[in-house]
Each structure stands twice: as C-alpha cells, then as structure tokens.
Amino acid sequence: MLEAIVVGLIVLAAALYATWTLLPAAVRLRLAQRAGDWGRRPGRAGWLQRASTAVETAARKRAGACSDCSAVQATRQRGDDPPPQR
C-alpha cells in the first residue's frame, strides 16, 4: 500500500512538473503571478508566502520559453541571488 502511495505521488509530481514546464511562458507567468498574489495575501502562513514567491521567481527565471537556450540561462533578475561583490 505504502509503495503504491509513493509511486502515485512521484507520478503525480512528475505530471504536474511536465505540464507546468511545457506551458507557454506567458501562461506560466500569469499563473505564477496569480499564485503569488494569492499566497501573499495578509494572514497567509509564512511558508505559503515563501512558496508562492519562489514559484513566481522560478517562473520569471524561465520566461525565455526554452530551457535549452543558453541565451536565457543565468540571467540575473532584480531581486534574485545576491549580486557578486566586486
């Protein structure tokens, strides 16, 4: 039974991830923004606020539409990782 639950969760997570990744970037960004707005409403739990912000940031990072394209890799957006100290 436990094995079936674990396998089911892995498959569900993989299906959700694949769907999310293959969505057009504009749709993904719109959805992430909505999720972010919803998650950051006053009164929401701290972890929910952090998770929704993370989803939004991740969606914005991948807005170049193709993860294979080196042109969209490592683009640092405002508010992402701390900038290097020169």
C-beta of 81: minimal distance to other proteins in Å? 9
Q: Using an 8 Å Cβ cutoff, are 76 and 84 in contact?
A: no
Toward other proteins, which CB reaches closer, 46 or 70?
70
Report how far residue 58's alpha carbon sits from residue 29's, in angstroms, rounded to the nearest whole number.
Answer: 9
Give Cα separations from 3 to 6, 8, 10, 11, 83 (angstroms): 5, 8, 11, 12, 44
C-beta of 38: minimal distance to other proteins in Å? 23
Q: Which residues bind other proteins (CB under 8 A)?
A: 3-4, 6-7, 10-11, 14-15, 17-18, 21-22, 24-25, 64-71, 73-78, 83-86
Report how far residue 74's alpha carbon sits from residue 76's, in angstroms, rounded to the nearest whole number.
Answer: 6
The three-class DSSP label of residue 39 is helix
Toward other proteins, which CB reaches closer, 23 or 51?
23
C-beta of 33: minimal distance to other proteins in Å? 15
Toward other proteins, which CB reaches closer, 22 or 45?
22
